[in-house]
């Protein structure tokens, strides 16, 4: 094994391949390094670069998490005999331990990305090391694309991509077919044990049982848990095991406690309760047993705020395998998984790259501020085009991009703040409104986890959170009050616990707000274009609401009736949480919401601010639409008119009155009539009869349809479809009245006929008449129906002396005659009356005489005199 180049520092597996890395960087200026967790790549390799002849400047090392950057910098500084902040330092959000002469800087990916975008050539930087590249965060993928682009201008810049698990060939090819250096590390066998069946107990009880089951193991135990809250509960559950030293490891801890957890054992056996930071970024010596919950809190973009939120998720198979491997770094190990083998096999094989599953508005804005378009870059895996389009649409909505797609002054100010675009827009607008302090604090509170979510807040005599009571007009104001209380208590957790305030979250929100205030103080937004400070508390609250609305213009919501259901301006549904302080406002701005686990139907709004319709008229006159809507009221059988002022799907003002007859009301009545059916508007079937007649006319006289106007031709074209014909035929009548009752009194067929040209009306009446006058003076109705020939039905006696029935359409279409007995039932159906009298009547006559002896049944029906109208015998 190679020896460490540092005196008194133990050798690590990575030391064996450092020479290969040096050689690769001399030849190709880029290298991909594969090394398993615990090989020492994070601490040894970047430090080695400082001694290279080509390295006269700074070495930047990207880390996926703040805790990894802090711990790696601390470890390297100790190995080199220095202090953090001198030769070796770190830079994370709200914590910068570097000086101008610091040569090795460990930093989060987001901060290095911003540094690269602000100083495109990275002056003074000799090498960039991308650690844990397999995690494929959006920031890291963007960094990789920008660094490949930068190498065209700076061939002297060295790039190192490092990973524990990685498709090395794909990355090496992307970096110009650079060399791949592999460190085998030291891996011992690890036995895997799954639960036999799902365990429904609380997680801390499962962990306690698992720790007890490994009481005979010799090494330390590493327990993977989703977050700090679960770690605290497990610490309490394990307190009854005094033979064990229980340590925590997560990003919320002070750096000194984090460093203590990753040091080797000093005395009794240890149990380290860690978040996913110990998967790859941090190596803990002496661990021989891993207990894996299979869970992690994964950063997801919040759909409402655009900020990153940590959501509890089951991790992929690849991450489960990586966690198990932490048990075999120094000796054979054991991994106990708190889930079944079936649950493991049901998980996805690997995590998707973040670019393919996240909101890209922040990325698009940052690139635009640097004069770049995402489509101009070469990507290891291109972002989805749909996500890029959605990002641009959101930025246009926020005013960061103009209608022509160019970056606006507001967009440039937003990009400099380095936070989610929605929150950045709130900060920028608060400066313009003269409420910068409140705006920065409100945005910082929205960007962090809710400082009041864990327990109830008791401030200004308010009831404990979670009870359905009205606290005020703004959940944001409640949290601003809580933040002020936290500042007065100097963020002392003990003093704030009784008030239900998260001290650490409040401290971070206050620090972030101060940072933004300093940035905006140097911005033009606080110059001539800014308003004077508000003169009253009411005006201050209104201006803060204006700033919040600018970041959430699509989150305006109206309450449905007096309940908790909301409809947003986008049309989406939501529900106001009972713990919200805004329980009576009719119009709200929703600024924080989530989807309860297992529920995706609608969001639950946790924080809202009361709005007034007049405010939106002032703020967004172009977005407020004045329109008139008509609705049919079936109970009153009337058409109601509503004059509306609306913001998207949210109605700001409404006036109701009775509608007048006309084209608009006609369309509404038409829909109501069609929904009710022909039994309401055409009980005698006259429209259907007219449709059949027109269909026959079109069939037998096509020249008439060819000569007709477009409207008439369209009507004729629908003659074979009752619903389509009714739609055309009813509309003229519906425009005359405003109720179905009035519609039923109209002669709909006559109205339709009145709209036809005279020639077509004349031809229709002549060739396809509605009635036929019999010799006795009786007018017989001709019935036209779907799927059958035209027919006429009447008593047999009415047809005495008639030997030939009329033929329609110039003789092309025979009329079917239904001969009825006195009981009005057909005794014969024929189209040839002459043949009937000769061949069928004599036999029928005898039958009819016996059944109806009081009726006259002459021997020769063809010559008999028909009865006069009204005479039955």
C-beta separation of 631 from 640 below 8 A: yes
| Residues 640 and 744: beta-carbon distance below 8 Å | no
Exposed / middle / buried, residue 242 (Cβ in 10 Å: 0-12, 13-18, 19+): exposed
261 and 272 Cβ atoms separated by less than 8 Å = yes
User: The tokens of 556 are what?
Assistant: 């305006």
Kindly state whether residues 230 and 339 are assigned to the same domain. Answer: yes
How far apart are alpha carbons 684 and 771 in whole angstroms?
Answer: 15
Residues 673 and 714 placed together within one structural domain of the fold: yes
Query: Do 763 and 775 sit in the same domain of this protein?
Result: no
pLDDT attached to residue 345: 94
Structural domain span for residue 801: 771-851
The list of the chain residues with pLDDT below 50 reads 1, 454-470, 525-526, 872-873
Establish if 548 belongs to a structural domain.
no
**Residue 666: CA count within 13 A, CB half-sphere:** 13
Torsion sign over Cα 134, 135, 141, 147: negative
Residue 460 Ramachandran class (φ > 0 left, ψ -120 to 50 alpha, else beta): left
Q: Based on the domain organization, do 106 and 32 belong to the same domain? A: yes
Among 767, 798, 814, residue at a domain's last position: 767
CB atoms within 10 A of CB 538: 9
Question: Where among 304, 332, 355 does a domain terminate?
Answer: 355
Burial code (b: 16+ CB inside 10 Å, e: under 16) for 397-427 equals bbbbbeeeeebbebbbbbbbbbbbbbbbbbb
d(CA 497, CA 755): 81
Q: Are residues 222 and 346 in the same domain?
A: yes
Assigned domain for 614 exists? no
In a domain, 517, yes or no: yes
Angle at 723 between CA 718 and CA 725, to 5 degrees: 35
Residue 475 within a domain: yes
Regarding beta strands 287-292 and 333-340, do their DSSP bridges make them parallel or antiparallel, or are they unpaired? parallel
Measure the N-to-C terminal CA separation of the chain; round to a whole number of Å. 127
Burial bucket for residue 214 (CB in 10 Å: 0-12, 13-18, 19+):
middle
Residues 6+ apart with CB under 8 A from 823: none
Exposed / middle / buried, residue 362 (Cβ in 10 Å: 0-12, 13-18, 19+): buried
Six token digits for residue 272:
């380290």
Indicate whether 22 and 117 sit together in one domain.
yes
94 DSSP assignment:
T
SS3 content of the chain, % helix, strand, coil (to 5): 40, 20, 40
Query: What is the pLDDT, as a whole number, of residue 188?
Result: 84
pLDDT, position 445: 95
Same domain, 369 and 381: yes
Helical packing angle, 421-433 and 361-369, nearest 10°? 60
| 8 A C-beta contact, residue 501 and residue 457 | yes
Give pLDDT, residue 870. Answer: 59
- Among 565, 579, 345, CA closest to 472: 579
Is residue 336 located within the same domain as residue 385?
Answer: no
To the nearest 10°, the Cα dihedral for 553, 554, 560, 563? -80
Which pLDDT does position 260 carry in this prediction?
A: 80
End position of a domain, from candidates 468, 489, 524: 524
| Distance separating alpha carbons of residues 509 and 504, to the nearest angstrom | 9
Q: Domain check: are 249 and 128 in the same one?
A: no
CATH number at residue 53: 3.40.50.300
DSSP code per residue over 379-426: -SSPPPHHHHHHHHHHHHHTTSB-TTSPBPHHHHHHHHH-S-HHHHHH
Pairing assessment for the beta strands 565-568 and 573-576 based on DSSP bridges: antiparallel
Strand partners, 32: 161, 180
CA distance 213 to 223: 13
- Would 552 be classed as within a structural domain? no
Angle, CA of 724, 729 and 735, to the nearest 5°: 120
Q: Per the structure block, which two tokens stand in for 871? A: 């005479």
Whole-angstrom Cα distance, residue 790 to residue 818? 11
- What is the full DSSP assignment across 793-813? EEEGGGGTT-----EHHHHTE
Rounded Cα–Cα distance for residues 103 and 80 (Å): 13
* Nearest alpha carbon to residue 305 among 142, 436, 423: 423
The C-alpha atoms of residue 492 and residue 171 are separated, in whole angstroms, by: 47
Distance, CA of 720 to CA of 574 (rounded, Å): 46
Other C-beta atoms closer than 10 Å to the C-beta of 381 total: 14
Whether 425 is covered by a domain: the verdict is yes
667 and 747 together in one domain: yes
Domain total in the chain: 5
**367 shares a domain with 343:** no
In a domain, 478, yes or no: yes
Query: How high is the pLDDT of residue 465?
Result: 38
CA 135, 136, 141, 147: dihedral to nearest 10 degrees?
40
My answer on whether 293 and 433 are in the same domain is no
CB distance 111 to 142 below 8 Å: no
The answer to whether residue 151 sits within a structural domain is yes
Q: Which residues, other chains included, contact 819 with Cβ-Cβ below 8 Å and sequence gap of 6+?
A: 794, 795, 796, 799, 826, 827, 828, 829, 830, 836
pLDDT tens digit sequence for 751-796: 888 888 899 999 999 999 999 998 888 889 999 988 899 999 999 9
**Rg of the Cα atoms in the chain:** 42
């Amino acid at each position: 094994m190679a020896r460490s180049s540092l005196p008194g520092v133990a050798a690590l597996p990575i030391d064996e391949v450092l020479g290969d890395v040096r050689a690769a960087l001399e030849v190709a200026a880029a290298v991909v390094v594969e090394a398993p967790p615990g090989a020492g790549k994070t601490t040894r390799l970047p430090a080695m670069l400082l001694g290279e002849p080509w390295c006269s400047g700074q070495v930047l090392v990207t880390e996926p998490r703040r805790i990894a950057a802090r711990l790696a910098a601390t470890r390297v500084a100790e190995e080199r005999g220095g202090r953090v902040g001198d030769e070796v330092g770190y830079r994370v959000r709200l914590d910068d331990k570097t000086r101008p002469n610091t040569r090795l800087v460990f930093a989060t990916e987001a901060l290095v990305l911003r540094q690269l975008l602000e100083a495109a050539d990275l002056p003074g930087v000799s090498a960039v090391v991308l650690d844990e590249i397999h995690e494929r965060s959006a920031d890291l993928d963007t960094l990789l694309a920008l660094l490949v682009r930068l190498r065209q201008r700076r061939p002297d810049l060295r790039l190192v991509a490092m990973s524990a698990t990685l498709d090395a060939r794909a990355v090496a090819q992307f970096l110009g077919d650079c060399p791949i250096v592999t460190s085998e590390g030291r891996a011992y066998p690890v036995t895997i044990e799954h639960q036999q069946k799902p365990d429904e107990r609380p997680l801390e009880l499962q962990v306690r049982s698992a720790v007890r089951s490994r009481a005979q193991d010799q090494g330390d135990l590493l327990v993977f848990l989703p977050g700090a809250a679960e770690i605290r509960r497990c610490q309490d559950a394990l307190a009854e095991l005094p033979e064990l030293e229980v340590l925590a490891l997560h990003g919320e801890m002070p750096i000194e406690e984090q460093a203590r957890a990753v040091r080797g054992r000093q005395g009794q056996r240890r149990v380290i309760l860690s978040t996913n930071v110990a998967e790859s970024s941090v190596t803990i010596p002496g661990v021989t047993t891993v207990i894996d919950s299979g869970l992690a809190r994964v950063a997801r973009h919040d759909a409402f705020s655009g900020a990153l939120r940590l959501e509890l998720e089951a991790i992929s198979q690849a991450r489960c395998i990586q966690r198990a491997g932490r048990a075999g770094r120094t000796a054979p190990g054991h991994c106990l998984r708190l889930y079944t083998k079936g649950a493991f096999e049901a998980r996805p094989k690997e995590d998707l790259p973040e670019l393919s599953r996240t909101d890209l508005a922040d990325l698009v804005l940052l690139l635009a501020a640097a004069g770049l378009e995402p489509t101009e870059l070469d990507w290891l895996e291109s972002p989805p085009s749909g996500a890029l389009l959605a990002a641009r649409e959101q930025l246009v909505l926020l005013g960061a991009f103009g209608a022509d797609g160019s970056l606006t002054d507001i967009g440039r100010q937003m990009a400099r703040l380095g936070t989610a675009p929605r929150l950045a827009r709130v900060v920028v607008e608060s400066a313009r409104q003269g409420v910068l302090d409140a705006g920065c604090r409100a945005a910082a509170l929205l960007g962090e986890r809710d400082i009041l979510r864990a327990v109830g807040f008791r401030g200004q005599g308010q009831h404990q959170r979670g009870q359905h009571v009205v606290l005020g007009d703004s959940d944001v104001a409640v949290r601003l009050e809580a933040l002020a209380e936290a500042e007065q208590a100097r963020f002392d957790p003990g003093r704030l616990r009784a008030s239900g305030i998260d001290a650490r979250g409040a401290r971070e929100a206050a620090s972030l707000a101060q940072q933004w205030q300093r940035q905006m103080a140097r911005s033009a937004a606080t110059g001539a274009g800014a308003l004077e400070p508000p003169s009253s508390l009411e005006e201050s609250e209104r201006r803060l609401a204006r700033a919040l609305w600018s970041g959430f213009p699509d989150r305006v919501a109206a309450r449905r009736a007096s309940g908790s259901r909301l409809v947003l301006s986008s049309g989406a549904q939501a529900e106001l949480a009972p713990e919200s302080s805004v329980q009576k406002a009719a119009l709200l701005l929703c600024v924080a919401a989530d989807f309860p686990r297992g529920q995706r139907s609608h969001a639950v709004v946790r924080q809202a601010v009361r709005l007034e319709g007049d405010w939106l008229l002032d703020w967004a006159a172009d977005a407020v639409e004045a329109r008139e809507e008509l609705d049919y009221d079936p109970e009153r059988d009337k058409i109601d008119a509503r004059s509306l002022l609306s913001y998207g799907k949210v109605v700001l003002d409404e006036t109701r009155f009775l509608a007048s007859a006309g084209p608009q009301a006609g369309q509404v009545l038409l829909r109501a009539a069609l929904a009710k059916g022909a039994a309401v508007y055409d009980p005698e079937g006259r429209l259907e009869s007219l449709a059949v007649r027109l269909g026959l006319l079109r069939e037998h006289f096509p020249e008439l349809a060819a000569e007709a106007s477009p409207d008439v031709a369209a009507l004729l074209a629908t003659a074979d479809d009752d619903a389509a014909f009714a739609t055309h035929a009813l509309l003229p009548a519906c425009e005359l009245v405003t109720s179905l009752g009035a519609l039923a009194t109209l002669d709909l067929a006559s109205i339709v006929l009145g709209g036809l040209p005279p020639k077509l009306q004349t031809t229709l009446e002549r060739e396809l008449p509605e009635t036929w006058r019999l010799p006795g003076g009786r007018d017989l109705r001709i019935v036209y129906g779907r799927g059958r020939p035209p027919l006429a039905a009447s008593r047999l006696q009415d047809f005495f002396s008639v030997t030939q029935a009329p033929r329609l359409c110039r003789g092309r279409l025979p009329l079917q005659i239904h001969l009825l007995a006195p009981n009005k039932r057909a005794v014969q159906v024929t189209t040839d009356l002459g043949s009937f009298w000769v061949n069928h009547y004599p036999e029928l006559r005898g039958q009819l005489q016996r059944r109806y002896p009081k009726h006259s049944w002459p021997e020769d029906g063809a010559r008999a005199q028909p009865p006069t109208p009204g005479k039955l015998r």
